[in-house]
Amino acid sequence: MSNDSGQNIPLQTQPYPVSQRALGRWLGACRYIYNLSLSYKKTLWEHNKVSIGKNDIQKELASIAKDTDWLGCVHSQTLQDVTDRVFNAYDGFFKQGKGFPKFARKGQYQSFSFKQGVKLTSQYVQLPKFGKVKYRNSQTLSGTIKRATVRECADGWYMCLCVETDIEPLPISPNSIGIDVGIKSLLVTSDGATIENPRHLYKAERKLKRLQRGVSRKKKGSANRRKAIKKLARQHQKVANTRKDFQHKLTTRLIGENQSISVESLQISNMLANHHLAKSIADAGWYGLTQMLDYKAKWYGRSFEKVSACHTSQDCSCCGYRNTELTLAVREWICPSCDSVHDRDVNAAKNIKAKAAGSAVSAWEVYAPVEVVAQESPAL
């Protein structure tokens, strides 16, 4: 099976100080081009009602780069990728309802990309028009490099490589599960297995608070404040890396053990509006978990499906009775119809699995609509 869906291979670069400054200049040039393209597009529309296309902007940028040394040193395809980001931000605003594109401040624009021409040896990575950079390889690379992204992180420079390679599907497994995600338990499967929430952010919260106090006590604009900010950023990155590592190991195991996996479709962005639970929800990382399950299922020939989350906890997984009086505080309940004893999370996971299989029809769905239609039908 050919895979070109964005397999990221992180390579931690260890550039010399000269290379670090050069990478910083390239990043600054890309940020300047991003802001210039965004400003140009906004100005043309606000003053002349003209919507300029991506190709037209790229042609004008090419002429600007020829006359400007610090822009001309950047590879042309890297500059084209910057304009692609501008128009992707506009598409996100008009088609997906995201926020209007904003100008990138220093520290917010953190990466630039190469679409082709990247070569790798045992000690160096050859970047087009940049030269050789020494690196430390974190894992074995196999396949054809399709795209490379250089990113500045709190603890140094990294490179993510998108490669095209052949991945053999895993042997067919007879198992299929439904997954109910949560905060106290990260996930509960329809088989009754429970994965506890590691709470990566809460475990590091004491150290993060201490580092944040250190930043607040330093004078603004001082070198000591910049050092304190870097220490805080490195700790936040460590928390994110720990969470991501845990998610990769967990999702790989779930994909390997099950042929079919189903989860509930949650509006996580809306749930984050609850300020009492927002930090816990963000720390759980539900979105990243489901994204990994989705693309790994495609890699290895598994089935992954999202189903509606409506009434998955209220419906009895045995007879279909809907307990509308069930509150969030109730973790175990007995079905009034068939006397089945349910763990709330396991019952929800079973309903999620049944919905994915297309066999979830509750007694409420069968009988209640008839009564509603009879009550609301207009008089003739």
> Tell me, what's the pLDDT at 14?
55
> Tell me, what's the pLDDT at 360?
40
> Tell me, what's the pLDDT at 202?
93
Residue 377 has pLDDT above 60, yes or no: no
Identify whether the C-beta of residue 362 lies closer than 8 Å to the C-beta of residue 317: no
| pLDDT tens track for 107-134 | 889 999 999 899 988 888 899 999 888 8
Amino acid letter, residue 51: S
Element (H, E) at 231: helix 223-257
Asked whether residue 144 falls in the same domain as residue 263, the answer is: no
Domain final position from 308, 332, 348: 308
Confidence of residue 273 (pLDDT cuts 50, 70, 90): confident
Q: Which domain holds residue 108?
A: 2-166
Report the pLDDT averaged over residues 225-241: 95
Identify whether the C-beta of residue 163 lies closer than 8 Å to the C-beta of residue 144: yes
Asked whether residue 8 falls in the same domain as residue 153, the answer is: yes
Contacts 24+ apart (CB under 8 A), 35-40: 35/103, 35/104, 36/61, 37/61, 37/82, 37/83, 37/86, 38/86, 38/89, 38/101, 38/103, 39/103
Asked whether residue 67 falls in the same domain as residue 162, the answer is: yes
Report the pLDDT averaged over residues 309-318: 88
- The residue among 66 and 363 whose pLDDT is bigger is 66
Give Cβ neighbours of residue 124 (< 8 Å, ≥ 6 apart): 132, 133, 134, 135
Asked whether residue 85 falls in the same domain as residue 217, the answer is: no
Instruction: Report how far residue 138's alpha carbon sits from residue 153's, in angstroms, rounded to the nearest whole number.
Output: 16
Asked whether residue 39 falls in the same domain as residue 61, the answer is: yes
Q: Could you tell me whether strands 119-120 and 124-127 are parallel, antiparallel, or unpaired per DSSP bridges?
A: antiparallel
Residue 220 has pLDDT above 90, yes or no: yes
> Tell me, what's the pLDDT at 20?
86
Domain count, the chain: 2
Domain final position from 249, 276, 308: 308
| pLDDT tens track for 53-79 | 999 999 999 899 988 889 989 999 999
Residue recorded with tokens 């769905």: 365
Asked whether residue 25 falls in the same domain as residue 103, the answer is: yes
Asked whether residue 104 falls in the same domain as residue 252, the answer is: no
Q: Is residue 245 part of a domain?
A: yes
Q: Is residue 156 part of a domain?
A: yes
Q: Is residue 366 part of a domain?
A: no
> Tell me, what's the pLDDT at 269?
83
Confidence of residue 1 (pLDDT cuts 50, 70, 90): very low
Identify whether the C-beta of residue 235 lies closer than 8 Å to the C-beta of residue 206: no
Asked whether residue 160 falls in the same domain as residue 25, the answer is: yes
Report the pLDDT averaged over residues 236-240: 95
Asked whether residue 124 falls in the same domain as residue 210, the answer is: no
Domain final position from 142, 166, 190: 166
Asked whether residue 96 falls in the same domain as residue 207, the answer is: no
Q: Is residue 336 part of a domain?
A: no
Q: Is residue 324 part of a domain?
A: no
Asked whether residue 73 falls in the same domain as residue 207, the answer is: no
Full-model pTM:
0.82
Q: Is residue 327 part of a domain?
A: no
Asked whether residue 101 falls in the same domain as residue 207, the answer is: no
Identify whether the C-beta of residue 13 lies closer than 8 Å to the C-beta of residue 159: yes
* Catalytically annotated residues: 180, 264, 345
Positive or negative CA dihedral for 223, 227, 228, 230?
positive
